[in-house]
Structure 1
């Protein structure tokens, strides 16, 4: 599922670029997930950006975003702000997602 994790990171970065800002992944993790009929991965990312307003809007729209992850479907995605104004001036958010292999 590392492949799905890297692809999800790229899809999120492209989505943020289309929204007019960038972010840095400061922490991430991925673990295998499976149900009786599907297999995939649970992803957790902590991201930081110097564009808090753009990031806030992007995070709000993220669950409905049209993102493609080749070979996988984004079954669920959401985010919460961890710190809107960290000491270094960046905003920090945590994104959690579930991808399912096609």
Structure 2
């Protein structure tokens, strides 16, 4: 008898996730950092302001980027990263792709 549970292969075997600094010129990065600091002073939430980071999912075999989204504030980035890591551990690649609506061919 075939046991489908033994056939489950988590997406984490094929995909990696990390938080990366958003690309940009040195000036753009400085302006972004200043805006984050100013928003922190205004709101008292030093994790607020424009996101300086993206959450990126890549294929392990090729390093090809399959998903890039704004990571949000420091707190939001941590929560998003934890959620994606959990999804990669508990879903197949097909289920992960369907949930996150990755482009065809990813």
Shorter-normalised TM range? under 0.3
State the TM-score, normalizing by the size of structure 2.
Answer: 0.25
State the TM-score, normalizing by the size of structure 1.
Answer: 0.26
Q: Flag the structure with higher helix content.
A: 2
Structure with bigger gyration radius: 2
Q: Flag the structure with higher strand content.
A: 1
